[in-house]
Each structure stands twice: as structure tokens, then as C-alpha cells.
Structure 1
Amino acid sequence: MIAVVGSNNVDLVLTVDHFTEPGETQRCISYNRFPGGKGANQAVACKKLGASVYFLTCVGNDGNGDFSYKTLLDAGLEKGLVRVELPNGFAMIEVTREGKNRIIIFPGANASMNVELVQKHLDELLNADILLLQNEIPFDVNLEIARKFKQKGKFVIFDPAPASNIDGEIFKYVDIITPNEAEAQQITGKQGESAAEILLEMGCSNVLLKLGEKGCLFVGHLGRYKLDAFKVKAVDTTAAGDIFNAAFAVWYEKTEDVYDSLRFASAAAAISVTRLGAQSSIPSFEEVIRFLKEQSVKG
């Protein structure tokens, strides 16, 4: 089983010709509302890719909360959904014609996640072999649950997004940290491979650096791998990193093979960017396997 402790949001997606400049007003090409949030994206992706999942999250009491709650139930994630008396979290997302995105987050109910709530669900969470964390909930919660999982010898994957208010103490409880390029630079002040090496020096056991269309770099105790991204026509990159993390965790739980897990994750992320939305872009397990077979034939 995979445990996910994290956020759920509603994504308000504006498709635009280009990122809006300061002082500029532009008409959006289209508007859509999708279920999102890094925690929910990863939990739904793990479930859709065939894993058993326990997702602990705080859901708001407004219309967005009702929308998110129903979506999570429909995805088969009925365990761990806690309703709170706050508006639900949401994200305002600009997506350009080229598929690039820019995101502003309102935490809402996600900010009410606390250590006491985690303690109430701890026994059920610890039934999992792998823990997925992100940084859209209060950091002390991430630190506590990572510590608890590591004490039990479990495997912890931490996505430091957004890359703010991160206490380096968490690194010793994390098996793999998974920043993208911007997040790695924000944490270390360096770019690319140099950033990954500094994260190792800071106490991270393994670093999975997500490089978008350039692929990914993995360095650490579990090996060193560099994979190119699969070539696809991107429509919307929203949640591609979340789907990558989830797919990696799903395959790693099955195989404990880092390279194969990176390849499976790269395929899942590649499929997702050809579709609009966050959770709506998640492929099924069968789609990822078929995609990989097609790529092998092409190769």
C-alpha cells in the first residue's frame, strides 16, 4: 500500500495565448475547473495506476470542497478524507498554447492539517510500505509523518513543492527527494546536476531531479541514472510532476528497481502532458504499459 498525506485543491485553469504581463489584460481562450492539489493528484494517480492507497487530506466546506470530495470518492479514495469548516484549497492556473503553466495557490482547508490529525490516522497510514509527501500542507506535519515512517523502516518520497519553509531536518527521514529544476535551485542556489550534488551533501539519501522535457536525473545511494523524456506534443503540463512521482512509487513498490521505475514514471508523465487538467490527465496502468511497448518498437 502507498500512503499519501497532503493537499487537495480545485484547479481553475485559464488557457491563454501567453503568460499575462504586469498591467496587461487579456481574454482567456478557455476556462475549466478540474480537481487537483499535489496530494490528491498523487493519490488519484497511484490508485488509477493500480496501487492500494490511503490518502489523508483536509477537504473544505464550500462548493469547491464538495466538488473535491465527490471526485476523491469517485476515484475510490474514501479513507482519510477529513471535512473541515474552511473553504477548500484552490489553484489559479494559466496555461499557454505551448502547454506551459504558471500557478497561484490558495491553501484553504489544506492549512488545517496538523500533527494531531496525523496521530489519529497513524496506525492506518503505517500499513503502507511507501509514503508520498508534498509541501502544500504545514511543514511540521511532513516532518512528523516522515519521522514516524522512517522509524518503522518505511520508504519515504518527498516532493519539495512549493520549495519554501523547508527545514533540512526532514532530509534524514527521506529516501528520495524529487524537486524540479526551479525547486532544486531555490533550495540550493545551484542548477542541474550541481543542485543534485548539493542536496546529497545536505543529507538527502537520493535525489530525483525532474527536468521536464529534458527527462530526469537520479543520483544517490540507490544508483545514478539519466533518462531522456519521451517525445510527445504537450498540451498541458499541469500535474505532470505529481503523476511522475506517483507512477515511480507504484512501480517501485512492485519491483524495487529504480531504473524501471523511472522509465514507467516518464511514460506516465509523457501521456499526461498530452491531455488537459491534473487528475483528468492521469493515464491508466494499461495505457502506460501500452505506451512503453510502442516506444520499444519505435526504438
Structure 2
Amino acid sequence: MSQIIVIGSSNTDMVVKAAQLPGPGETVLGGTFLMNSGGKGANQAMAAQRLQTGGGQVVFIAKVGNDVFGREAIQAFEKAGLDTRFILQDRQAPSGVALIGVDDEGENSIMVAPGANANLSAGEVSDALGEMPDAEWVMLQLEIPLDTVKSAIAECTRKGLKVVLNPAPAQRLDDEFLKNIHLIIPNETEAELLTGISITDTNTVREAASILHKKGVENVVITLGAKGAFLYNATTDLLVLAPMVEAIDTTAAGDVFCGALVVALSEGKSLADGAAFACQAAALSVARMGAQPSIPSREEVETAMG
């Protein structure tokens, strides 16, 4: 197993589950309140840690506030077995917070106040990467400053690490940004923003994936929610179906998928086998409430896959 590094955000999720999501100016009563650890970086790091075998340790590079949310997050990471040496505490900014609404269909609406996540600098990430010569895989998202992500990708490429980018939250990225990506994992919305292709069927998802590949991304995996994931590279053009489940909360499904896929690839699985493993992990997660609390164990995923 290769060492996995995750560089990204850590938030505290404040979740209200109600019959429906409110429209503009609308108040919805009768919800249930939950508070959990979240943030795309933390979710992916925790998923990778929980789903790997052999007692390995995922390294998480992040920044939290010097407050109760930050301290509780670090304690949770340590309890899960993450390497927390490179989680910094900001003395000025608070920890990141996400306000999440979840309806009866499991759909969600999210607002994020990034707090300390917005202060994770390229230099701080570079210092952390300099202390991990044996790593092979690094996974990033876009909930930390874009300049920090760009710098980290460039440095990891120079070091020969395999860079995995989950381009979320959705935003436009220039071609220079994409050319050194080993694996990109956008959802349909993110893929459309990156390629200009509206994904409506297999042909359009293939077209979007091909565009990303031509921009220099070696491997493309476009997640399609309940429909599964589309895989594309020089030798692969494949739709991997997701197991059918009743969704309760889809909040961290994409993050669980990303963490699971990188774990599978780090263990030497093919892209297709890794995507099947990741689809199963994500399917199990949507049947539970919360972000990190919904992440299944390795045993649960393998049992479900038979």
C-alpha cells in the first residue's frame, strides 16, 4: 500500500433534516438538528483512512481555527488514526463551518463559511510535503485557496506523486491547471463547467471525459450519482453502475467515492475495479445521515460486494 496524502478543508457541519428544502425567503419548520465533522478534505481523508487495510495511515494537511470546533476535529482525526502532524491552527480565523439542509429525498443544500481553510498557504503545504518523501498519492479539492492547490499540484508533480483532483466546489479551471493531473473526479455539474458539455446521456458524458483527457488529464472519472461513474483514459471507456439503495442523505457521497477510489488504486486495483469499490462505498454512505459518520468500514463494503 502506498501512503496517501490529502490536502484540503476541515469544517464542522451543522445539519437540519426536514421534509423539504426551503425556497428563497421561506422558513421550513419541524426539522431535526445534527452536528458532525465535515469538509471535503476531511471527509476524503477519513474515508481513505477507514477504507484501507493493513494498518496504514493517511496524512491530512489542513488548517483549523484555535477554537472548540478545531480542537474537536483534531481529536476526531486522531481517534480515527489519521496522521494529524500537519493540521495547523489559525490564531485569528475560526474553524470552517457548513450549514446543510437535507430533505426527505436525501437531497441537500449547503452553505460554507471557510474560516481558517481560506488561510492555508502554499508555503505551509510545501513545508508539510517536504517531510513526506515516501508518499505516492495526493488528493486535493477546491475548498482551500486555488493558488495553494495550484502550487501543491506543481510541487507534487515535481516529486513524482500521482495527483488526484476532485474539482469541487464547481469552478472553472484553466488548461494549465489540469495538465499535470493523474486522475480527476468531477460530478456532472463540475464536468460541465470544466468542458462546456451538458451531461444528459452516455454520449455526452463520454464527450466531456474525452475533452478533459485531451487537456492532459491521464484518467477521468465522472461521478453520476445513483447512475454510477463513467471512466475514461487511453484504454478505458466504461460506465460502472452503482448499487441501488434508498438515499437518506447524499451529503458526503462524492467524498466517500473519492477516498475509496484512491485507496483501491493505491492497493494496485484497476480503475474499473476501484470504481466499483468506490460506488459500493458511496452507496452505503447515502443510506446514513451525516458526512463522516456515514463512511462505511472496509468490511462493510467488501461484504456488500460479496
* Both proteins in one fold, TM over 0.5: yes
- Cα deviation digits, residues 192-219 of structure 1 (max 9, x gap): 3132222223332221100000111011
Name stretches of at least 5 consecutive residues in structure 2 with no aligned partner: 200-204
Matched residue, 2:90: 84
The answer to whether the 8 Å contact 2:126/2:155 transfers is: no
Task: State yes or no: 1:210 paired with 2:223.
Answer: yes
Asked if 1:115 corresponds to 2:117, the answer is no
SS at match of 1:236: coil
TM value normalised by structure 1: 0.94
Task: After TM superposition, give the deviation of residue 143 of structure 1 in Å.
Answer: 1.2
Question: Aligned residue for 1:54?
Answer: 59
Q: Which residue of 138, 145, 149 corresponds with 1:142? A: 149
User: Matched residue of 2:169: which SS?
Assistant: coil
Partners of 1:169 and 1:105 in 2: CA distance: 27
Q: 1:126-161: per-residue Cα shift (whole Å, max 9, x none)?
A: 421111110000111111111122222221110000
CA deviation after TM superposition for structure 1 residue 170, in Å: 2.0
Long gaps (5+) in structure 1: 294-299
Match of 1:5 among 4, 7, 30: 7
**1:29-178 residue pairs with structure 2 within 5 A?**
29-50=31-52, 51-77=56-82, 78-85=84-91, 86-164=93-171, 166-178=173-185
Match of 1:20 among 4, 19, 22: 22
Corresponding letter in the other structure for 2:61: L
Find the residue that maps to 2:99 and give its secondary structure: strand
Q: In the TM superposition, what is the alpha-carbon distance from 1:185 to its structure 2 partner?
A: 1.4
Secondary structure at 2:6's aligned position in 1?
strand
The alignment yields a C-alpha RMSD, in angstroms, of 1.4
- Tell me the distance in 2 between the aligned counterparts of 1:138 and 1:168: 18
Using the TM superposition, give the Cα deviation of residue 64 of structure 1 relative to its aligned residue in structure 2, in angstroms.
1.9
SS in 2 for 1:124: coil
**How far off is 1:266 after superposition?**
0.6
2-side partners of 1:277 and 1:222: how far apart? 37
State the Cα deviation string for residues 244-279 of structure 1 (Å, max 9, x = none): 011001011112411110111011001100111010
Whole-angstrom distance in 1 between the partners of 2:173 and 2:95:
23
SS in 2 for 1:129: strand
Q: 2:180, 2:216 within 8 Å by CA — same for their partners in 1?
A: no
2:286 match = 273
Aligned-residue identity in percent: 40
| Counterpart Cα distance in 2 of 1:187 and 1:172 | 13
Give the corresponding residue for 1:296. Answer: none
Find the aligned partners of 1:45 and 1:59 in 2 and give their Cα distance.
19
- The one-letter code matched in structure 2 to 1:196 is A
Q: Is the 8 A contact 1:206 1:222 kept in 2?
A: no
